[in-house]
Each structure stands twice: as structure tokens, then as C-alpha cells.
Amino acid sequence: MNTIDKNHIWHPYSAMNSDLPVYEVESANGVRLKLKDGRELIDGMSSWWCMIHGYNQPEMNKALEQQVKKMSHVMFGGLTHEPAIELTKKLIEITPALLQKVFYSDSGSVAVEVAMKMAIQYWHAKKQPEKQRFISLRSAYHGDTFAAMSVSDPDTGMHSLFKDIIPHQIFIEQPASRFGESCNKNELNELEQILKNHSDEISALILEPIVQGAGGMWFYSADYLRKAKELCEKFNVLLIFDEIATGFGRTGKLFACEHAGVSPDIMCIGKALTGGYLTLAATLTTEKISNTIDNGNPGIFMHGPTFMANPLACTAALTSIKLLLESNWQEKINRIQRQLEQELKICNTFDAVKEVRVLGAIGVVEMKKPVNMKNITEDFVAAGVWVRPFGKLIYLMPPFIINANDLKILTTAIVEIIKKYSY
């Protein structure tokens, strides 16, 4: 292990004195990561949902090389450029029709902050400034900055640690009904009660549609989204969809909200937006909300990142979206889904496994107990795959370009390693 890394660099959610292994990657190509020691690993994570076309993709490389020569960056205050214009044209075409206004930022967490600010400024402009709180779901994950953290699960987000500085939001149970089912009659009672009693202080309901990602990899009923939307309209509360993980095909639809046919008032995208090449996120909203904010006080939207709409990132996003739309992505996702279902289902017969669930290009094996990260990571690397579980969850979300043989290597590694632990 590299000593500079070991002694001086923090990794995500890690301790400086951690004994967990960290592997140095030298290069990456297609679905394979090449380690410095020469070993190759098949990437089952798409580098956290992002690398949908795989690494070192020729068209992506070419588009970025051309853009570097034109302009890598330029400030966005008072200036604009073709990559931002073309990307915006594309985004308003492929997202729900009412979403017409786009705010670019550098990461998913910031896109969520921006969404929350939009909701608050909207109500402020509507002369209802008390509407500042948010409703969120248990097991939600919306990012690591303070406002985003305030709407992420209180236990896994350690709200107790930050209790005096993060805003206190209202949490409701995660949806119980599964994807493909309709909701139970009483499932939205808690939401309805809270809206009934507190809608004068609530700005918006924020949800990850269909798939709760980093908070538990939970797939839930599309019906829930339709009913939640009705309740939000009835009680005058905005609806924010965080599609940062689910966007760009992962669940089998281009955006997960399409499973429910529900259009949010505000939507966040990120992660796979640039095909994983660069960091970029966006918050989209309706004409109604942007007009209202414009007509309020101070008459501007209060946010503006230094690297807003970075031209390289916008070029990566535009190229990635074109590649996705031109590929037969639905067929690819269906094939991945079928294979994950077939090859992971045997895990259901293992004692240590609670359940296997698959949706689109996401395959999850939920264990009864948390896994030992050190052992399991070393086992996966020894098996030639990159799989990074968290808690009780071992899961795959491979690049969409993965072929059946490589996917089989990933699922076999999971099956064999779980088998080893389940005596």
C-alpha cells in the first residue's frame, strides 16, 4: 500500500488509521480496472453508479480532447458557451416536460442544496416564508453537505453528532410496498397526517424515486410516488425528486420517475450525468417556480458555484447522453436484469442471506448481518472483481456495456464468497 496515501489521504467515510485495504489503480479500460501491481478487476460498481459506458471510451475521450483545445473552463457569470447550451437543450428534452429551467453545480450534494434553496425561495416569494422544513424518508441518502445531510437518514447520517447545526427535518417511514406492487391502503397515512398538521411550515417532500440508494438499496412501489404527488398537491407542498443515482437508465427507465409517470417540481441529477468522466450535477425546475423566485425578493436565485457549467463537464455530459440514447440501452439493461436475477437468485438459499432483489442494472444481496469489509474486499479482489459492499448489502451496478461473460464473473464471485461465509 502506498505510504503517502496511507498516512496523508482521507478516503470516503474512513479513518486515517484504518486497516482496510486501499488499492492503487493505474488505468482503466472498458469494464476493467488495472491495478498498479498488474492485476485486473472487473468493475461491478461503475465507480458508484457513474461509469455507464465504461472507462476510456473512445467517443468520450475524443469529445473531451476537442473541447480541451477550445476551452477547458470559463466563468459562467455573464458568459455562456455551446456545451452548456447544447446540454441544456438535451436535458429539457429528455426529462419530464414541465422541467424547463436548469441550474448546474459540481456535485450531487450541491444539487440537493440548490433544490432545497429553490423550494425555500419559492415559498418566500409566495409570502409564506415559514415554509422552510422538509419531509424526507427514513433510509434516504441525499448527500454529505449540511442541508443534504439533514434530509438523509438520521441514524446512518449520525444526526445526533451534528444536532445543533443541522436543520431538523421531518422523517417518515420508508415505503413498505415493493416495486411492482400497489401501496397498502394505510401506507401514506403518516405522510398525510404530517401534511395535514404541518403544511404551513413544510416547503417540500424530497424522495429518491423508486430506488433508495446508499441508504439501503431499497426498491419501492411506483404507486407510492403517485400518491405522494397527490398529497403534496393537495396540501401545497413541493415535491423534489433526487434522481442522482437513478437517472440515466439504471432502473430500466431513463429516469426512475417514469415508472410512476410522476413529474416533480424540482429534480436533481448527477453521478452518471457525465458518464462518470467529470463531476457535474444539475437541478431542474419548472417555469412556475423560476418565475415565482424571480418575482420575489431579492429577485435572483441565491447560488452560483465557481465551476458552474464547466465546459469540459458539459461536453462529457452531452456526449454521454448521446451515446446512451443511440445505444439500445433498454435492451442492455433488460439483459443485465435477467442475468442478475438468474445468477444471484441462488443466494436466497443461503442461511446468511436475507433476500436477493434486482431492478434494472442493480442487483442486491441483503445479508442478515453486516459483512466484514476487510475480508470480503480482499476476497473479491482475489476473485478478480471490484465489489464494494456496505453494511449488510452486497450489490452490483455494472457499466451498461458489460458483456455476459464478465457479468457472470461478477455474480459468480458474489455467490462463491457468500457461500464461503454461510456455513
Ligand X SMILES: *Cc1c(COP(=O)(O)O)cnc(C)c1O
Q: Which listed residue (213, 247, 249, 399) binds ligand X by CB under 6 A? A: 213
Q: Which of 106, 223, 242, 379 is catalytic?
A: 242
We find the least distance from the C-beta atom of residue 48 to ligand X, in angstroms, to be: 7
Burial 346-378 (b: 16+ CB within 10 A, else e): ebeebebbeebbbbbbbbbbbbeeebeeeebbe
Decide if 13 is catalytic.
yes
**In one letter, which amino acid is 374?**
K
Nearer to ligand X, 30 or 209 (CB): 209
Q: Which of 253, 271, 332, 392 is catalytic?
A: 271
We find the least distance from the C-beta atom of residue 212 to ligand X, in angstroms, to be: 8
How far, CA to CA in Å, does 97 sit from each of 79, 127, 204, 313, 403?
A: 27, 27, 20, 24, 34
Q: Which of positions 104-123 make contact with ligand X (CB under 6 A)? A: 107-109, 112
Segment interacting with ligand X, rule: CB under 6 A, options 115-123, 141-149, 257-265, 295-303: 141-149
What phi and psi, each to the nearest 5 degrees, are found at residue 105? -145, -175
What's the DSSP call for residue 20? Answer: S
Nearest to 191 by CA among 235, 151, 154, 153: 235
Nearest residue to ligand X on Cβ basis:
108
CB 396 within 8 A of CB 358: no
Does 169 contact ligand X by CB under 6 A? Answer: no
Q: What is the dihedral of CA 167, 173, 177, 180, to 10 degrees?
A: 10
Decide if 395 is catalytic.
no
Does 142 contact ligand X by CB under 6 A? Answer: yes
- Give the H or E element holding residue 318: helix 311-326
Decide if 271 is catalytic.
yes
Radius of gyration of the chain (CA): 21
We find the least distance from the C-beta atom of residue 12 to ligand X, in angstroms, to be: 9
Segment interacting with ligand X, rule: CB under 6 A, options 37-45, 224-232, 237-245, 349-357: 237-245
Nearer to ligand X, 313 or 418 (CB): 313
Nearer to ligand X, 47 or 107 (CB): 107
Does 95 contact ligand X by CB under 6 A? Answer: no
Q: Which listed residue (41, 214, 365, 417) binds ligand X by CB under 6 A? A: 214
Nearest to 207 by CA among 129, 115, 140, 272: 140
Whole-number Å distance between alpha carbons of 133 and 198: 10
Binding mask 249-288 for ligand X (x = CB under 6 A): ---------------------xx-----------------
What phi and psi, each to the nearest 5 degrees, are found at residue 79? -125, 155
We find the least distance from the C-beta atom of residue 214 to ligand X, in angstroms, to be: 5
> How many residues bind to ligand X according to rule CB under 6 A?
15
We find the least distance from the C-beta atom of residue 58 to ligand X, in angstroms, to be: 26
Residue 97 three-state SS: coil
Does 231 contact ligand X by CB under 6 A? Answer: no
Whole-number Å distance between alpha carbons of 241 and 257: 8
Grid coordinates representing 72?
477547458
We find the least distance from the C-beta atom of residue 190 to ligand X, in angstroms, to be: 22
Decide if 196 is catalytic.
no
> Among all residues, which ones are annotated catalytic?
13, 141, 242, 271
Positions in the binding site for ligand X (CB under 6 A): 107-109, 112, 141-143, 208, 213-214, 242, 244-245, 270-271
